[in-house]
Amino acid sequence: MTSAPREPFFPADKSIRASEAPLDVRYLGLVDYQQAWDLQADLAGKRGRDQIGDTVLVLEHPYTYTAGKRTQPADMPDDDSPVVVVDRGGRITWHGEGQLVVYPIVKLAEPVDVVDYVRRLEEAIIATVRAAGISTAGRIAGRSGVWVPAATKAKDPAASHRDRKIAALGIRITRGVTMHGLSLNCNNSLAAYEHIIACGIDDADVTTMSMELGRNVDPGDVDKQLVDALIRALAGDLSVANHTFGSAPNPSKGVRGRDTIRP
């Protein structure tokens, strides 16, 4: 097996969670973004006080732009669509129906290893989309998320020929408890991405599982597989491997934060 992108604080086969209790997985369907964010905050506070165990929220959002801490004015929608300013890392992205969203509310073991946590989320996504048939999905060094390389020809002729982002990550960790998480494009429209510079990246594109595979992939077709892979990745049963196929500049490196965007 190839090695992880960098040596983690914990052995690859060791759990990154502070608890060994089973995760409480909740499939919520379509949920308003603000409502889901409020729920996350409530659960994270309770988890930090050990009032509840680790929880995973699995859902979809209605059409919503969200701007992380590193979002720049140029990233914002060119059609003046409303934007929710959030407390996660990263820059602007979009959520909507057909996109699978997973929010782990998990207390991490100490010492907290943020990079390893992100890599484990990515590994769960990579395992899921590869099992579905996107065999070349992997990482681009310098950028988070899961990507399909330009060399891979999508089944949908409308797909881009550049590197394509199929899943995005944005997290927040407070007192060792995680919030926010990942979004996997399944069969959503990509029209909303035309109005923003998604994640601050203008030299690559976005894609969906449906476009890459040439068949419809609904969030419900892969949600349980992704949750299973996530559970195994956090537990160390699915080890982080080096699926990196390229490198590119980090779009958030050296970028100023919150005060650069409108609320």
Largest interatomic CA distance in the chain? 51
Q: Which of 36, 125, 177, 199 is catalytic?
A: 199
**HSE (side-chain half, CA atoms, 13 Å) at 68:** 23
Cα 55 to Cα 38: distance, rounded to the nearest angstrom = 14
Name the phi and psi angles at 103, rounded to 5: -115, 100
Measured distance between the N- and C-terminal CA atoms of the chain, rounded to whole angstroms: 46
Q: How many CB atoms lie within 10 A of CB 9?
A: 14
CA 68 to chain centroid, in Å, comes to 13
Verify whether residue 186 is a known catalytic residue: no
Cα 48 to Cα 177: distance, rounded to the nearest angstrom = 6
Q: Which residues are catalytic?
A: 199
